[in-house]
Structure formats: structure tokens, C-alpha cells
Amino acid sequence: MANNAAGRDIPARIKGLPEIRPFEGAFKNTPLVRKQKGSRSLPRLNKIVDSIEQAVLKSGVQDGMTISFHHHLRNGDMVLNMVMDVIANLGLKDLTIASSSLTDAHTPLITHIKQGVVRRLICSGIRGELAEAVSHGVLDTPVLFHSHGGRARMIEAGELQIDVAFLAVPSCDVYGNANGYTGPSACGSLGYAKVDAVHAAKVVLITDNLVEYPNTPFSIHQDHVDLIVPVDQIGDPQGISAGSLRMTRNPRDILIAQYASHVIEHSGYMEDGFSIQTGSGSISLAVTQFLRDVMLRKNYTASFALGGVTGNIVTLHEEGLIKRILDVQSFDQEAIRSIAENRYHTEIDASYYANPHNKGCATNKINVVVLSAMEIDTDFNVNVLTGSDGVIRGASGGHSDTAIGSGISIVVAPLIRGRTATVVDRVDTIITPGETVDVLVTDHGVAVNPKRRDIYDRLKTKHLPLYSIEQLKQKAEKVTGVPEPVQFEDKIVGVVEYRDGTIIDVVYQVKD
């Protein structure tokens, strides 16, 4: 028998229960509360620090650690560079950067790589000068390229352990409730950041819009947040989102979109209550537009649209043609407005979206997905990462996640860009395996994967220019001529992880 701090006698052991821990006082084991009730100063209730430097120091970033970022601010992101400049100034070394993706905004990373601050990159894709530098071997350790679903999987499986997540948030209160759809740097969904907020050992939010508590509705929850840094600006609105994506006038894109919409209409997968993911490319936008006509004509509504969301998906939602939107990433101003306003435009995180190993991801419920390709080969393998010169200039994104999850996956692309053929014998880098790609739609013709005889049979009477993919490849080659193969060095600069954690391909350093 011992008195506990409340003056009660509590037995040390009670039969059938584990060891008893006697009460030690209200403040002893709850550190994050006011130590004295009634004190007007609020120690520890405010997570705000004055500068990024303080946040880096307080969060305990050390040499060799893994720190993470998200790419919802796209080309307008300022936060990754701000944080890395501070880290470099503090003399930290050998960090791994796990950013959900890297964009044109992240060129300054090249300097940090060269100076040994950054040792490794883990991301969905890289663009611009940083991609050029990586392709030319600036890193000693290869970049790990993952899909959006694959990233969530590796974080939840503990394969990617994030020491500190530095997450830009367009609005945030003093306790860490944050969302992406209010504030001058609004970006819409924070789907990729949400996973990091839950799983990183330390979470630092960086915002240019501190608002009154509680900042509801919130995407990132106060109970996951360690520190908050207010700054002048987290992003350039010009680069964060496209103003409004307009319907293309390019006749070639319109032709491809018409064929794609025709394929979808007659594929057997378009019926009342179907679901769809299109995307933000100009052909995809036009496909959505043509599908709207089909839906009106046939009196169909879609149960939901998934994915990267654009204004024309929002228009269909507001017209009642798409009942619900599940949004992991909002591409334009309209999508950002809608996720804030519309009750059934719901933000989802990357795991909910596409993690293949959780208990059910949304990509598994998609009937139709429209995808792009830089290259596709005669086995239907798709490359969306490396260009025709072998240089990295793209991202894995949700390509492989949606291709396998959907009832029908349709790749749309011009057969020839300039004099570069899209259909080739062998793609440079496989991102999405051909066994998950069902139909290729080009301006010169449509090819159905021989595995999908069912789709071919439904389409063959529908006045589509159907060819085998080998025929399309020959058509392209007849126009362009046979290019010389790209020359590579022996060094591996990138490893492509399939969404399940296995390695599907590697990227080599390009030769000059």
C-alpha cells in the first residue's frame, strides 16, 4: 500500500491486472499543458518558432537524416529551397531528401548536392536543370523513383523513415491545424503532405497565413505537429496552379480526345454510375469535355472522379454529372475553390488514393483512367520519366497505380512528336508495366492490348482506326526514320521502384 499523489491508497498489485502505476500529479506525465492554471502566458501551447533555423535546430536535424517535403506548391514552391539553404548554412551534411516530387523550382538543390549537403533523393520525379544534373551523374547514390501510391506504402511499411517533415501549408493556426485551400498560397488538397504529417518522427509546418484557432476544416491535425514557422511567403501563386486550363484548340489533341472518348463510350466500362480519372494534360482535359457530351446524351452520371482534379471535373460535379470528387491533388484555381466550397469534393491522402498494401485504395475502384506517355513500347510498357534523349524529365506520379487499379487504362499520346516516335520497340525506362495498360489512343490510330480481347471485340465495330501496336510502331517509323540509340554510361543514376516495393527498372547516366 502506498499513497499516490492524490492521497489515495492504491494497492501495488491487483489480481488480474498488470502492474499498477500510481498517480504522480496532474502535470507530471502530461508535459504539453500549462504548468500553472491561470497563468496568462501559455508555455508550450504555442508551437510557433521565429525562424526556419530555429525549427531545424529544435526538430533535431542531424547529418545523415532523412527529411521530407511535398510538391503541392508545384513550380511555385519556395519552402524546400528556404529550408535547404538554412540546413546548408548550419553545415549539415549527407541528408536524404524525400519529397513527394521535385519540380523546376528546385534547381538550387544542385548546389547542395555538389557541396555534400544532400546525398540522396527519393521522389516521384524530377524536372528541369536538376533532372539534367541527375541524368549527368551529379549524385553518387541513385535517385529512388516511386509512384504516389508506392511512396505512401514505403512510409507506412516503415521502409522510408522520415526524421523531420518540413511541410508548407497555405493556412495554419498556432496549434498546427492546417489546410491547403485558404490563404494567398492556396494549393487545394494536401494529400501527399498528410501521410508525412502522420508518420514523420517530427513535423514542422511552414506557413504564410497564420489564422485563428481552430483552423477548421483541417487537413493536417494539431496532434501530429511539433513546430510551426510563419514566413512571408511559401510559394509563388503563378507557379502553384494554372489559372484556368482552357480547352485546347490543337486539332491533333482534339482528334485524340475524340477517339479516346469514343473508346471509353464503347469499352463496356462506361455506364450509369461509372467512375473516372482523367488528369491535367490538354488531351485529358478535352476527353473530359467530350465525355460530358456522352453523359448528357446517354443520361449517365458518374459516381465519382478521382485524382489530380481540374476545373472541368469541377464543372461536371457542379452540373450534377459527377456526384463526388476524391482529390489528392488540385491542379488549378477552380479545383482549389471547389475543394473549399463543395461538400462532396473530398480531400484524400496518398495512401487512401493509391497505396497498394493498405486495406483498400481508391485507385482500385476506378472504372476508367486516361493516362499520358512519353514512350510506349510494343509490349505496352509505358515510360513517363525519361525523354527521347535519355534525360530525366518527368515523374512516375499515379501512372502505375491507376493503370493497374482501373477497369480500363487508356494511354493518350500523339504517335509522333516532331520527329520522335511515341511507339517504340523498347521504352527507355519502364514506369508502368504493359500488362496493366489496356488501350493506346494516338492521332494515327488506336491499339488494344492483345490481353484485352474483350475490349477489342466491343470496339471493332465502332468506326475507330484500330491497328495492332506493331502496326502503329511501323507507321511512326516510316515517317520519322530510325533514330540512333541513346548512348549511356555504366553508372546508374536512378532506380525505379514499382508501387509494390520491387524494382522495375533503372536509369543510366547519359553520355554526352
Partner 1 sequence: MELIHTGKAGTLESSDVLISVKTHPENKIEIKLKSIVEKRFGRHIEKLVRDILDEMQVSSALVDVDDRSALDCVIRARLETALYRGAGVQTYHWEEL
Partner 2 sequence: MKLRRTMLYVPGNNPNMVKDAHIYRSDSVMFDLEDSVSVREKDAARLLIFHALRCIDYETTETVVRINGLDTPFGRDDVEAMVRAQPDIIRLPKTETPEDIQMIDQKLTEVERQAGVEAGSIKLFAAIESARGVVNAYRIATSSERLVGIAFGAEDFVTNMHTSRSKPGTELFTARQEILLAARAAGLHAVDTVFADISDDEGFREEVGLIKNMGFDGKSVINPRQVGIVHSIYMPSVVEIKTARRIIRAIKRAEQEGSGVVAVNGKMIDKPVVDRARHTLDLAQASGIYLDEIEEEEING
Size of the site for partner 2 (CB under 8 A): 14
Which of partner 1, partner 2, none is residue 486 near (CB under 5 to 8 Å by kind)? partner 1
Report the alpha-carbon distance of residue 448 to residue 257 in Å, rounded: 16
Amino acid letter, 233? Q
- 479 is a site residue for partner 1 (CB under 8 A): yes
Per-residue x/- track, 251-290, partner 2 (CB under 8 A): xx-xx--x--------------------------------
Cβ burial 198-217 (10 Å sphere, 16+ → b, else e): bbbebbbbbbbbebeeebee
296 binds partner 1 (CB under 8 A): no
- The interface partner of residue 25, options being partner 1, partner 2, none and the CB cut-off 5 to 8 Å by kind, is none
User: How far from 406 is each of 37, 197, 250, 366, 453, CA to CA, in Å?
Assistant: 56, 28, 28, 5, 17
Select the binding partner of residue 389 from partner 1, partner 2, none (C-beta < 5 to 8 A, by kind).
partner 1
In the list 44, 246, 417, 426, the residue contacting partner 1 (rule: CB under 8 A) is 417
Q: Candidates 44, 246, 417, 462: give the one binding partner 2 (CB under 8 A).
A: 462
CB 369, CB 403: distance < 8 Å: yes
Q: Is 483 a binder of partner 1 (CB under 8 A)?
A: yes
C-alpha cell at 2: 502506498
Q: Applying CB under 8 A, does 503 fall inside the site for partner 1?
A: no
Handedness of CA 339, 240, 406, 179 (dihedral sign): negative
Which does residue 466 touch among partner 1, partner 2, none (CB within 5 to 8 A, set by kind)? Answer: none
**Cα–Cα nearest to 61, from 228, 202, 230, 231:** 202
Q: Of how many residues is the chain composed?
A: 512
258 touches, from partner 2, partner 1, none (C-beta below 5 to 8 Å by class):
partner 2
- Grid cell digits, residue 493: 543514376
Of positions 19, 484, 490, 502, contacts partner 1 by CB under 8 A:
484
**Which has the closest alpha carbon to 163: 267, 271, 87, 240?**
87
Q: How far apart are CA 471 and CA 359, in angstroms?
A: 41
Find the binder of partner 1 among 418, 463, 490, 502 (CB under 8 A): 418
Q: Does 323 bind partner 2 (CB under 8 A)?
A: no
Q: Does 465 bind partner 2 (CB under 8 A)?
A: yes
**Contact status: 444 vs partner 2 (CB under 8 A):** yes
297 binds partner 2 (CB under 8 A): no
Q: Give the phi and the psi of residue 309 in degrees, each rounded to 5.
A: -110, 140
Residues that bind partner 2 (CB under 8 A): 251-252, 254-255, 258, 416, 443-444, 461-463, 465, 478-479
Residues that bind partner 1 (CB under 8 A): 388-390, 417-420, 479-481, 483-484, 486-487
